[in-house]
Amino acid sequence: MSAKEFKIALVGCGRIARNHFDAIAGLDGVALSAVCDIVPDRAREAGEQWGVPWFTSYDDMLKQSECDVVVVATPSGVHPAQGIKAAQAGKHVVCEKPMAITLSSADALVQACDDAGVQLFVVKQNRLNPAIQLVRRAIDRGRFGRIYMANATVRWARPQEYYDQAPWRGTWEFDGGAFMNQASHYVDLIQWLVGPVESVMARTATMARRIEAEDSGAAILKFRNGAIGVIEVTMLTYPRNMEGSITLIGETGTVKIGGTAVNKVEHWQFASYDDDDKLIDAAATNPPNVYGYGHAGYYRNVLSVLRGEGGPDTDGRSGRKSLELILGIYESAKTGHEVPLPLRSKL
C-alpha cells in the first residue's frame, strides 16, 4: 500500500508563492491541488502553470477544492483570519511569516488550530539552511562556551517601486515595516539560536520610502543568559541587497554566517576541533534570492508531521516568539523606553 499523498491548496500567488510551488513539486507525497488570489490574472497564471483549479474567492477554494493543507501566503495582516477559516474547515495550515501582526490574532490562530485538531506550521525556512544547522549543532554541543554577543544584520534594498507594486506593503494594518516583514526571519534566528530575550531597546525610522512603517532600524537585546544582541535592519542599501548575516561571539568560539541570506560560512573558529569543521565549505549555498532554498526542507518536515513520523520544526507557539520580539521592538521604538519580555499586554 502506497503512502497517502497530501493535497495542498495555496492562497496568495505573489512573490513568495514560487518557492512554495517549487518545493511542493519537488517532493513526493504532496501535490498542489488549487490556488487562489484576488488578482484574477495572477490566480489564472499560477493555476494554468501548475495545472490546478484557480480561484479568486478564498471561501470558494475552501469549499470546492480537494485539499488536506492550506498554505497562507497572503499579506501578513490577513494570515490569522485565513488560517482560522482553514482550520475550521478541517485543514492543516502552513502560514508564511509573520504568522500575524498582533499577538491577540496570533493566539486566536493557534487556538483555532488546537480546537480543530489540525497542525499549524509557521514558515521559518532559514532555520534549515545548512550553515545555520551547523551553528545550532555547535551551540547544542557547547562549543561556544558562554555566548557574549549576537548580531543579526539585514542590509537589503527595497526601492519605492517595490512598495508601490502592492498597496498593502509597508502599511501597519497589513504588513509592518522592515523588522516585521523583511527581517522577521533574522529576528527569529537570533532568538532561536541564543535563547529567550529579557528586554529590548530600539530605534526605527522611515527615512527614504513613502510608507507608514519603518524602512530602517536597530535594536539592542538583553538575553536571559546574559548575552547582548544587536539587530540592524535597513531596506535602503545602495544599489542592491548586500548582506543577511548572523554573528555569534562566545567564550570559546566565533562564527559569522553571511551571504545575502545566511547561506555562507564567513568565519568559523572554535577552541576545540569537531568533525563538523570539515563541513563548512559544503554548507555554503548560493540561492537566487533572499528567500534561500529552505522551503524544500520545510515541506519535508510538514510531510513528516502529517505522516506521524516527527514533530513540527516551527509550530504556531514557536512562530509567536519572534512576533512578540518584533512587537517589543516596535513598542520600544514608539515609547523610547526599554521594553521587558514577555510583553505585559497583547499588542
35: pLDDT strictly greater than 90: yes
106 within domain boundaries = yes
Region of 148 (left: φ > 0; alpha: ψ -120 to 50; beta: rest) is: alpha
Residue 38, classified by CB atoms within 10 Å of its CB into exposed (0-12), middle (13-18) or buried (19+), is: middle
In a domain, 285, yes or no: no
Same domain, 114 and 167: no
Calculate mean pLDDT across residues 319-334. 97
Question: Helix 184-194 vs helix 316-335: angle between axes, to the nearest 10 degrees?
Answer: 110
Q: With respect to residue 114, please indicate whether it lies within any of the assigned structural domains.
A: yes
Based on the domain organization, do 207 and 142 belong to the same domain? yes
Strands 69-72 and 243-250, bridge-based pairing: unpaired
Instruction: Give 105-138 pLDDT, tens digit per residue.
Output: 999 999 999 999 999 999 998 899 899 999 999 9
Q: What are the strands, taking DSSP E only, across the chain?
A: 6-11, 30-36, 54-55, 69-72, 92-95, 120-122, 147-155, 197-205, 216-223, 228-234, 243-250, 253-258, 264-270, 339-340
Range of the domain at 189: 127-269+322-340
Tell me, rounded to whole angstroms, the distance of Cα 42 from its chain centroid: 23
- The CATH number for 264's domain is 3.30.360.10
Could you tell me whether strands 69-72 and 92-95 are parallel, antiparallel, or unpaired per DSSP bridges?
A: parallel
pLDDT cut 90: percent of the chain above it: 89
Entry pTM: 0.94
Judgement on whether residues 63 and 164 belong to the same structural domain of the protein? no
Same domain, 201 and 333: yes
- Asked whether residue 187 falls in the same domain as residue 75, the answer is no
Number of folded domains in the chain? 2
For residue 273, the number of C-alpha atoms closer than 13 Å in the C-beta half-sphere is 2
Query: CB under 8 Å to 274, separation ≥6 — which residues?
Result: 138, 141, 143
Q: Are 29 and 136 members of one domain?
A: no
Average pLDDT over residues 150-164: 97
186 and 264, same domain (yes or no): yes
Does residue 277 form part of some domain? no
Q: Write the pLDDT tens digit of every residue in 7-28.
A: 999 999 999 999 999 999 999 9
pLDDT band at 288 (very low <50, low <70, confident <90, very high): low
Domain assignment present for residue 1? The answer is no
